[in-house]
Structure 1
Amino acid sequence: MGANLYFIGGGNMPTAIIEAVRRKSDSYPVDHIRVEEISEARAAFLKDTYGVEPAQPTDTPDADIVVIAVRPQDDVAGVAASVAKRFDPAKTTVVSIVAGYTIAKLEQSLGEGWRVVRIIPNTLTTVDYGYSGAALNANARQEDVDAFLNTFGKVLYVEERLIDIITGFYPPNIVYHFIDAYVDAGVLAGLPRDVAKAIALDTIIGGTEFLKQKDVLPQVLLNINNSPGGVGITEAYTLNKTGFAASVQTAVLAAVERTTSLGANAK
């Protein structure tokens, strides 16, 4: 028999998870995927595209996993209280993907005895990349959710205090910003845009793979590549002079702070 999944919320991230689950059906078979979604158009899209079953806030089906996938500014506490009334803690594990909303807050609304897992999925799940940090409460075990979580990206089980940091650190937007600037640099230097993009993407993918194969810190390869008076050290000097590293670090810290503030303002 396959798993029974129940999603509360049908936005972009739960949709990405559902897509990944469908693609991994051989390794993670599922009997039912039900989704509560207030938008009728969105519910129809999910049904037509992924074969999910539309659900209502009064439904009480069997569920191995209930995924709370609403926004932090929504009534998360009310959603959790509704879950507690409709599902069985002996059978169901609650997985929250609500940014910044702590396990302790969920436990207050759920009550005693629930297995609770908090994870903020990486947006690279649809291409089988992207680490997500997952935290378990005292009742939850890794085996309760591991097969499910590994259908979308890669999972690191961590202390909950690291969840917001990982969430602010992992979005690929910072990579997109770099690639955009890198391609523009090639164009500025005189390359056609399609040529600059091809070289930039290949360099980033190849450089990342080489770094993984060598299993060393980036500084090791930089020291090898930066020969005296050469191109590499000139580029490094220019980046240092313009505050490149500080800009990246400042952006990441701001993203982490924003993630934490979302949870602090959650209902």
Structure 2
Amino acid sequence: MAPGVHTVAVIGAGKIGELVLAGLLRAGWPPDRLLGTTRRPERAAELAERYGIRMVDNPTAVTEAAVLAIAVKPQDAPALLAELGPQVPPEKLVLSLCAGLPTSFFGERLAPGTPVVRVMTNTPAVVDAAMTAIAAGPHATGEQLAIAEEMFTPLGRTIRLPESQLDAVTALSGSGPAYFYYLVEAMTDAGILLGLPRQVAHDLIVQTAVGSAVMLRDSGEHPVRLREAVTSPAGTTISAIRELERHAVRAALIAALEAARDRARELAAATKS
């Protein structure tokens, strides 16, 4: 399917919404097939100038676009759907980029039978290296899932999953870039403590992270096998691993991801109150 067949409106063009718009343009989507909405006029002017797309109000977006990509914060979604729900005809495809909100949230506020696809992407979309998971609501067809894939595959990699797994995806890959940046920050501080200049420590860690990720992706090896290849008996690496285990880093990571998943569920629950 050629890019740009469908007119797409990104409703709530904040950080994630802008990532989607920019990625579609890089993929060859015609600017006249893209619309954006935002609450702040200055933000609308900024995006229109930066990307050459038309910024409109929400009712215009609903009227003109075949695909509505809703990218507002979860806590803003109830008010938005109260305004737009009655205006969205059931033939529109709705993509939700609202973290934590199930497709049932939209189903309760849109016309019966409206197809909804839940999408969880992440910020490496900026460099076309995102990990995007998509899940079909009860009325979304295979063809409509393919439209979502058409939109997000140019931003990186896509995977189809059952919606029951999307909160885990939010915790793992949706928030995942922040964990890696946190790790790089900590390792940079360690490099400085060990006597390296900050920029040198940063460059060493970033390239090591890139190379390790490529090896993990392309080799097909289990991460334990790759780690063991670096870990010599009585060597430097095993001494470091022992300290990581002594400080329960593995358990802390598991607990952190569980907390992120639970927060995604709390956000969904808050929209029902």
CA distance in 1, matches of 2:66, 2:52: 18
Q: Does 1:123 align with 2:126?
A: no
CA distance in 2, matches of 1:138, 1:233: 49
Q: Does 1:234 align with 2:239?
A: yes
Letter in 2 for 1:68: I
Task: Give 1:81 shift.
Answer: 5.1
2:72 to 51, 70, 73: 70
Partner residue in 2 for 1:184: 189
Letter in 2 for 1:69: A
Residues 65 and 95 in structure 1, CA contact (< 8 A), matched pair in contact too: yes
Query: 1:77-226 residue pairs with structure 2 within 5 A?
Result: 77-80=78-81, 82-90=83-91, 92-140=92-140, 141=142, 142-170=145-173, 171=175, 172-226=177-231
Report the count of equivalent residues. 263
Query: 1:5-16 residue pairs with structure 2 within 5 A?
Result: 5-16=8-19
5+ residue gaps, structure 1: none
> Identity, % of aligned pairs?
27
TM-score by length of 1: 0.91
Residues 36 and 55 in structure 1, CA contact (< 8 A), matched pair in contact too: yes
SS in 1 for 2:75: coil
Residues 90 and 111 in structure 2, CA contact (< 8 A), matched pair in contact too: no
SS in 1 for 2:36: strand
SS in 1 for 2:159: strand
Q: Does 1:46 align with 2:51?
A: no
Partner residue in 2 for 1:263: 268
Is the alpha carbon distance of 1:44 and 1:229 closer, same or farther for their aligned partners in structure 2, counting shifts above 3 Å? same
CA distance in 2, matches of 1:58, 1:130: 30
Partner residue in 2 for 1:4: 7
Q: Provide, for residues 31-53 of structure 1, a one-character-per-residue CA deviation record: whole Å limited to 9, x for no partner.
A: 33222221111111111111221
Residues 134 and 148 in structure 2, CA contact (< 8 A), matched pair in contact too: no
TM-score by length of 2: 0.89
Letter in 2 for 1:232: T
Task: Give 1:29 shift.
Answer: 4.1
Is the alpha carbon distance of 1:230 and 1:194 closer, same or farther for their aligned partners in structure 2, counting shifts above 3 Å? same
Task: Give 1:223 shift.
Answer: 2.3
Residues 77 and 106 in structure 1, CA contact (< 8 A), matched pair in contact too: no
CA distance in 2, matches of 1:151, 1:212: 18
Residues 20 and 151 in structure 1, CA contact (< 8 A), matched pair in contact too: yes
Task: Give 1:234 shift.
Answer: 1.2
After superposing the two structures, state which structure 1 stretch, 210-219 or 79-88, moved more: 79-88
Residues 89 and 111 in structure 2, CA contact (< 8 A), matched pair in contact too: no
Letter in 1 for 2:56: A
Partner residue in 1 for 2:27: 24
CA distance in 2, matches of 1:85, 1:241: 56
5+ residue gaps, structure 2: none
Is the alpha carbon distance of 1:138 and 1:194 closer, same or farther for their aligned partners in structure 2, counting shifts above 3 Å? same
Residues 32 and 54 in structure 2, CA contact (< 8 A), matched pair in contact too: no
What's the RMSD between the two structures over aligned residues? 1.9
CA distance in 2, matches of 1:147, 1:81: 29
